[in-house]
Amino acid sequence: MAAAQRCVKVRAMATPKTTFLAALAVLAGACAVNPLTGKRDFVLIPESQEIEIGRQAADQAAQTIGLYDNAAVQNYVSELGKKLAAQSERPNLPWRFQVVDDPAVNAFALPGGFIFVTRGILTHLTEEAQLVAVLGHEIGHVTARHSVRQLSKAQLAQVGLAAASVVSDTAAIGQLGAAGLGILFLKYGRDAEREADDLGFRYSLNTGYAVRSMPDVFGTLKRVGEAAGAQTLPNWLSTHPSPDERIARITGQINETNPPQGIVERDRYLAMMDGIVFGADPRHGFFDGDVFKHPAMRFQMRMPAGWKSQNLSEAVVSQGPENTGALQLTLAKEDSPGAALQKFGTMEGVSNLEPVAFPIAGTASSARFRAKTESGEIAGLVTFVAHDNKTFQLLGLSPVETFATQETTFKNTFGSFSVLTDPAALAAQPAHVQVVTVGGAMTFAQFAAPHVTPKVTVDQLAIINQVEPGTQLSPGQKMKVVKGGR
């Protein structure tokens, strides 16, 4: 019998594996009424379970990425989001809207109504109407049950937060890390993204906001992507239709509906963004050449020369040339290095744990090991070291055939872990957005010239203000600049 001709009840269970949500055990199948179309829709999990899965994932996102520490900004985003969600097709979900402390230009929706935007995307918008468009798009993913459909297909994917996204074939690093690197996240098809755009358009229009601002959001995303070059931006550019297509589609809808001008609220939005942290926060760690320094936790470690290194929100990762090896530094949950190593040895797939000693500052426990992955067996060295009342995990992985060569590199890297004492590094502070008023008629390039630094170019300032360098500015116009920073 065809699926469209029968409905059976379903139960599904989100199951934690190691330290993060990564599996969904589907026990049956079901049909339910689609809240948008009113028609029967094939889904695998009930709403109550959708909410619980989303809640757990959202709590983990808040813990691993970290929430932006600004109550005014959090309340502002939350109030706007709840205003939109209240007039959506699923107003009774436990909607939650939060800002994560991440410089990436991104936003994402988790099952059950848990929405996140990064402070990075906030710094690149210029009007409240644009933020409403972003929130409306993410709300659309939830109201259209895109997450439920993807969960039903068991097509779970992780945000590029895990070290696995950096180390290619040595993806086991994401599973062996002890800091809970995964976030439950869903990559939707382009048709779903188009539907979310359409719903965002509807929600903005229904709440009286200027839908004419939506193309400017897509144009900014395009410029951010072009400026990033080979660097991959998560979700908003990697899984969505091209910005040009999105601009053309929404512009077409605007021309067809001829909507009113609507609410823009540029001044209120800029006032809220005045003082927001811009770019990477050096308090959360930064690279000084090959040396990674973390002022807040007061430690440093030298990465191998020539390796590709990255400071993620929950880990520092580094990849050797041609995937010869990979490194990861995270926090461990255990109270002591010994307890952490003992627990590591019990993880699924880990075998041949062989204690090893080498010079390293502080109390440490280390061991060689083997691990089974989908791509075959790999070898590794793990060290747990105590520092500042915390236990850190230092993990090195390589193919079995090259481990003997890479082990020396791993030991040298782990042995460089030490207390950070450099006064300049300890005093490092983040840059902030500052809203200033244009004093007279001039081009944006002329206005921006005094605010250019080695870290912030005219083009970057133009992108966050959504203008071109040659744009003519008027006296009294409010614009964003970037001040301070390491």
pLDDT tens per residue, range 188-213:
677 888 899 999 999 999 999 999 99
Residue 234: partners with Cβ closer than 8 Å, 6 or more residues away: 104, 106, 108, 159, 160
In this prediction, residue 41 carries a pLDDT of: 58
In this prediction, residue 19 carries a pLDDT of: 31
Angle at 169 (CA atoms; ends 164, 170), nearest 5 degrees: 55
Distance CA 282, CA 161 (A): 18
**What count of other Cβ atoms lies within 10 Å of the Cβ of residue 86?**
11
List the beta bridge partners of residue 399: 378
Distance CA 353, CA 396 (A): 14
Look-up of token digits 């199951």: 15
The closest of 117, 115, 113 to 100, measured between CA atoms, is 117
pTM: 0.78
Distance CA 108, CA 155 (A): 16
The closest of 468, 465, 463 to 223, measured between CA atoms, is 463
Output the six-digit token pair for 357: 């000693």
Q: What are phi and psi of 371, to 5 degrees?
A: -145, 140
Asked if residue 210 lies in contact with residue 261, where contact means CB atoms within 8 angstroms, the answer is yes
Residues of the chain with pLDDT under 50: 1-30, 154-186, 230-238
Output the six-digit token pair for 93: 């979900």
In this prediction, residue 181 carries a pLDDT of: 26
**What count of other Cβ atoms lies within 10 Å of the Cβ of residue 471?**
14
SS3 311: strand
Output the six-digit token pair for 485: 């920073």
In this prediction, residue 242 carries a pLDDT of: 80
Q: How far apart are the first and last CA of the chain?
A: 65
The closest of 31, 28, 33 to 11, measured between CA atoms, is 28
SS3 326: strand
Asked if residue 21 lies in contact with residue 52, where contact means CB atoms within 8 angstroms, the answer is no
What domains sit in the chain, N to C, each tagged with a CATH number?
3-277 (no CATH), 282-426 (3.40.1000.10), 430-484 (3.10.350)
Looking at the chain, how many residues does it have?
Answer: 486
Which region holds residue 38: left if phi is over 0, alpha if psi is between -120 and 50, else beta?
A: left
In 379-443, which residue ranges form alpha helices assigned H by DSSP? 403-415, 423-426
CA atoms 439, 442, 444, 447: torsion sign: negative
Distance CA 217, CA 125 (A): 7
In 258-384, which residue ranges form alpha helices assigned H by DSSP? 266-273, 337-344
In this prediction, residue 273 carries a pLDDT of: 97
Distance CA 414, CA 411 (A): 5
Distance CA 92, CA 387 (A): 46
Asked if residue 329 lies in contact with residue 316, where contact means CB atoms within 8 angstroms, the answer is yes
Asked if residue 296 lies in contact with residue 158, where contact means CB atoms within 8 angstroms, the answer is no
Asked if residue 117 lies in contact with residue 99, where contact means CB atoms within 8 angstroms, the answer is yes
What are the Cα distances from residue 372, in Å, to 156, 218, 340, 352? 21, 43, 20, 11
In this prediction, residue 35 carries a pLDDT of: 64
In this prediction, residue 33 carries a pLDDT of: 57
Asked if residue 211 lies in contact with residue 262, where contact means CB atoms within 8 angstroms, the answer is yes
Output the six-digit token pair for 395: 């993990």
Distance CA 458, CA 157 (A): 36
The closest of 121, 100, 117 to 225, measured between CA atoms, is 121
